[in-house]
Amino acid sequence: MIYKVPQFIEVEDKIFGPLTFKQFIYVAGGVGACFILWTFLPALIAIIFIIPVGGFATALAFYRVNNRPFVVLVESYLRYLMAGRLYLWRKEVPKISTKNQIPKSQGNPNFPIPKLSDNRLSELAWSLDVNENVNR
């Protein structure tokens, strides 16, 4: 059997003349918002608000950033603004010169000094393996 395979699945259908459904909705919403602003505000103030609203509606309908619709950029921007942020700060350990180091004999004998090793991760993995084998 022979089947027809769709060729242009990424291209939206033009429903309202040269406009897709999404473009028509953005343009119609922008025109409606501009009409409401024009009827309820004085002419000079209305024009000040109509220009950005009309520009935004036109950008939503026709402008593309990096070959992606402008609405994707606006959505990403709003998600960035609304989402929480986690900032991590790692304090850098200052390098201590050998002149200012306290000799071990002068240290506090009651203060325990932790044992440091070169490969702490391998020691931890080994201890986990040993405890897992013992529990079996």
In tens, the pLDDT along 4-15 reads 887 777 777 777
Q: Per-residue pLDDT tens for 68-106?
A: 999 999 999 999 999 888 888 877 777 766 655 555 555
Q: Which residues pair with 68 in a beta bridge?
A: 65
Q: What is the pLDDT of residue 113?
A: 57
Q: What is the pLDDT of residue 78?
A: 94
Q: Which two tokens stand for residue 118?
A: 């070169």
Q: What is the pLDDT of residue 114?
A: 56
Q: What is the pLDDT of residue 6?
A: 78
Q: Per-residue pLDDT tens for 24-75?
A: 999 999 999 999 999 999 999 999 999 999 999 999 999 999 989 999 999 9
What is the distance between the alpha carbons of residues 13 and 52, in angstroms, rounded to a whole number?
Answer: 28
How many CB atoms are located within 10 Å of the residue 49 CB?
A: 14
